[in-house]
Structure 1
Amino acid sequence: MNTPHGTVRRARRSGPRRLCAVLGAVLACVACMGATHAQMQASEVQVKAAFIYNFALFTNWPADVMQADAPMVVCVTAQHPLQAALEKLIGKPVRGHRLEIRKLNDSTVAGCHVLVFDARTPNGVRVDPAAPVLTVSDSPKSQRAAGNPEPMIALALHDDRVVFDIDAVAARQAHLQLSSQLLRLARTVQ
């Protein structure tokens, strides 16, 4: 008879321990998921800025456009939500060039290698389709305001993930060569 009581005692002791271990694991998972969700929301602009940096890394400009020792100039329209996040990338290397961020206060894109704009807001910026300027919008092409340039790459948020669509025809027209790796990662390529 001692045997069944001994078994019961061990089961009673291991039950609370097991319950505490399971509850601890569940609480740790919930805390981790909450922190990840908050981080995703807080860093959408940083993620988009990182995408733009990588777009520059995976794009080839004509040799006469990218002079040796000249900076890679990313122009961003005034009061753009990504401006502060892009400025944190100043000085980073891009294909042997130092990254420079320039705020556009007018419609002049001369000297820009990448133009970042909000397609939903009319901004008065004009880009010659044959100019070797990579145009990037942080909103889908379908939301483009009249008069805005046609983006070659359009960033979008889909299921809490940043995705992008590429207009490869527009890139070729501007004499830009987008890496096949970049094309494979795009949600759609036209």
Structure 2
Amino acid sequence: MSAPHGIARRARWPGPRRLCAALGIVLGAACMRVAHAQVQASEVQVKAAFIYNFALFTTWPPDAMQADAPMVVCVTAEHPLQAALEKLTGKPVRGHRLEIRKLNDGTVAGCHVLVFDARAWTGVRVDPATPLLTVSEQPRSQRAAGAPDPMIVLALQDDRVVFDIDAMAARHARLQLSSQLLRLARSVQ
């Protein structure tokens, strides 16, 4: 015998509640992926803004930069912050316009800020006495052999971007970090 018409119909077409639940799960998963991508994008943008502000609150020695020269931020190849930093090109920094340069040849000559990945260090040599502000996302314990000690380490703590400063390394490089910057750091060594 065949089943009553209503039962066969339910088997072929899900009820409105089932359909709504299935759509809710699919849409919820899609929204979570979009929200996760937005959080990642905003983290990158926030870190790029921090680097810009590090440049604003750092004073280089007079012989480190000519009056009409750009402030050059060098970024190691394939660094996740590169695209976000490039959006800051041309912004003013202490009377200079910001220029972003991708390090391809391994030389930091002409750079004022170096943003690098300490785990995937490419072998660029950095003299600790060079007035070059070094910024990384990896602390000393995670850096590759030969990578320079970062003066500023960016980190994520409780969904907030924080940073630690090695003030001794900055002084050794003849850089003066603003007291405001030092107060905002999570830690200063």
Instruction: State the distance in 1 between where 2:165 and 2:175 align.
Output: 12
1:138 aligns with 2:137: yes
Q: TM-score scaled to structure 2, two decimals?
A: 0.79
CA drift at 1:172? 0.2
Q: Deviations over 1:118-158 (max 9, x none)?
A: 11112211110000000000222321111111100011111
Q: Which residue of the partner structure matches residue 29 of structure 2?
A: none
Q: TM-score scaled to structure 1, two decimals?
A: 0.78
Instruction: State the distance in 2 between where 1:147 and 1:126 align.
Output: 8
Q: Which residue of the partner structure matches residue 91 of structure 2?
A: 92
Q: Which residue of the partner structure matches residue 49 of structure 2?
A: 50
Instruction: State the distance in 2 between where 1:157 and 1:141 align.
Output: 16
- The 3 A distance-change label for structure 1 pair 38 and 103 is closer
Instruction: State the distance in 1 between where 2:153 and 2:64 align.
Output: 23
Q: Which amino acid aligns with 1:187?
A: R
My pick for the range that moved more, 116-125 or 161-170, is 116-125
Runs of 5+ consecutive residues of structure 1 not aligned to the other structure: 1-33
CA drift at 1:37? 7.2
Instruction: State the distance in 2 between where 1:187 and 1:125 align.
Output: 28
Q: Which residue of the partner structure matches residue 16 of structure 2?
A: none
Instruction: State the distance in 1 between where 2:168 and 2:108 align.
Output: 21
**Number of aligned pairs?**
157
Instruction: State the distance in 1 between where 2:130 and 2:83 align.
Output: 26
Q: Which amino acid aligns with 1:68?
A: A
1:153 aligns with 2:166: no
| C-alpha RMSD of the superposition | 1.6
Instruction: State the distance in 1 between where 2:180 and 2:51 align.
Output: 15
SS of match in other structure, 1:64: helix
Instruction: State the distance in 2 between where 1:42 and 1:73 align.
Output: 23
Q: Which amino acid aligns with 1:128?
A: D
Q: Which residue of the partner structure matches residue 59 of structure 2?
A: 60
